[in-house]
Amino acid sequence: MHQAKRIVVKIGSTLITNHGAGVDHALIKDWVGQIASLSKQGVEVLLVSSGAIAEGMKRLGWKTRPHEVNQLQAAAAVGQMGLVQVYESSFREHGLETAQILLTHDDLADRTRYLNARSTLTTLLDLNVIPVINENDTVVTDEIKFGDNDTLAALVCNAIDADTLVILTDQHGLFSADPRKDPSATLIHDAKSGEPQLEAMAGGAGSSLGRGGMLTKVMAAKKAALSGATTIIAHGRETNVLLRLHGGESIGTRLTADALSLTAKKTWLAGHLKTGGNLTLDVGAARALLQGGKSLLPIGVTAVDGNFVRGELVSCVAADGLEIARGLVNYSSVEAQKIMRRPTTAIEELLGYIAEPELIHRDNLVLL
């Protein structure tokens, strides 16, 4: 992750709770110190942390993970208190503020909520606040749970266009076979995300404590690669692992993305058959999109057609009626009518609030 500017660090429950013994305060303080050092170097770090259910189990005196969803949710609610408490106090020692973000799959599958989550996360990064993210285990059901925080971390990578996903685990990386069973197993140092043989090497699930084994990490790398992120799977107890990785050292397994891959988001945008409406662009705005790689600002829109809400997919058409792009709109059709042909500085005055300075951000826009 040498020269990475935006990193998602995921820490597994087996690691963070020292195999179920409860949140390992000393280990968390060590990782926090490394993240604080990266932050001082100008690197944006988002933390995806497991461990709420395991910590809750410890506090409730439960020895085995329950199967009933309501008991898992109760354990998560109890454990989340201890988890955020140790992160908040540890980061504060380094003069850094933290924010708790609890997400469900629906938050990143629904396009309006996806925009809201992305907007919140990027705002926190702009404020130099460290987001501490976990699955919202207190409300999930079998239909909406991510299944593991490896997947959640990959989806966060996609949402905020991170350079690198670092998955810290209690294993030294991905091996050619299970090293606990096969003494001839060798560590895979470098590979391409999504290569079919990686899934075969990863095998089945890991511990009884967490939900994600090596297979979920390989699948997460595949998802993260869709937005161009490299994934590194490394042992969390390796001395100064995050700082050494940022310094360019080879630790664990590095799974790189195909540079030619179109992001999952843009694939979704390009492949969607139905749009909620049209935005007609003036010559300058069309040129800014096609040649400058710019976002679409309200001032460049000359007409708004259709009835759409924030987060809906809309078409961008040139003056001759030809569709040149499509994207997720930050304002409804009624709001777009009010702010079109007007500068960004006028949005708040016209609407009474400002969601985003752009009508469509370039990261949520695909050229056709």
How far, in Å, CA of 275 to CA of 204, rounded?
Answer: 41
Per-residue pLDDT of the chain (368 residues; tens, 9 = 90+): 767 899 999 998 888 887 767 788 999 999 999 999 999 999 999 999 988 888 899 899 998 888 888 898 899 899 999 999 999 999 999 999 999 999 987 787 777 888 889 899 999 999 999 999 998 877 766 544 555 789 899 989 988 889 999 999 988 999 988 777 888 889 999 999 988 888 878 874 444 334 447 888 998 998 888 888 999 999 999 999 999 999 999 999 999 987 655 565 676 666 666 789 999 999 999 999 999 889 999 999 999 999 999 988 999 999 999 999 999 999 999 999 999 999 999 999 999 999 899 999 998 898 88
Q: How high is the pLDDT of residue 287?
A: 95
Q: Are residues 269 and 256 in the same domain?
A: no
Q: Which of 114, 120, 125, 111 minimizes the C-alpha distance to 355? A: 120
Whether residue 311 is contained in a domain is answered as yes
Give the domain CATH number at 187: 3.40.1160.10
- Tell me the β-bridge partners of 166: 9, 232
Q: Are residues 102 and 232 in the same domain?
A: yes
Give the domain CATH number at 333: 2.30.130.10
Q: Which of 124, 59, 60, 111 minimizes the C-alpha distance to 86? A: 59
Q: Are residues 327 and 215 in the same domain?
A: no
Q: Helix, strand, coil shares of the chain as percentages rounded to 5?
A: 40, 20, 40
Q: Which of 205, 200, 202, 189 minimizes the C-alpha distance to 256? A: 189
CA distances from 154 to 5, 82, 227 (A): 16, 25, 9
Whether residue 1 is contained in a domain is answered as no
How far, in Å, CA of 32 to CA of 129, rounded?
Answer: 13
How far, in Å, CA of 7 to CA of 230, rounded?
Answer: 10
Strand runs (DSSP E) across 32-181, as ranges? 44-49, 98-103, 130-135, 164-169
Q: Are residues 235 and 303 in the same domain?
A: no
Q: Are residues 193 and 221 in the same domain?
A: yes
Q: With beta carbons less than 8 A apart as the criterion, state whether 228 and 260 touch.
A: no
Domain count, the chain: 2
Q: How high is the pLDDT of residue 260?
A: 55
What do you get for the CA distance between the two ends of the chain, in Å? 32
Domain coverage including residue 231: 6-261
Domain stop point among 239, 261, 283: 261
Sheet architecture: strand order including 365-367: 301-306, 277-281, 313-317, 323-328, 365-367
- Tell me the β-bridge partners of 301: 281
Take residue 232 and report the two structure tokens written for it: 């590194």
How far, in Å, CA of 202 to CA of 222, rounded?
Answer: 13
If one counts every other C-beta atom within 10 angstroms of the C-beta of residue 233, the result is 27
Domain stop point among 221, 243, 261: 261
How far, in Å, CA of 121 to CA of 346, rounded?
Answer: 25
Q: Are residues 303 and 334 in the same domain?
A: yes
Identity of the residue numbered 271: G
Q: Are residues 321 and 344 in the same domain?
A: yes
Identity of the residue numbered 89: S
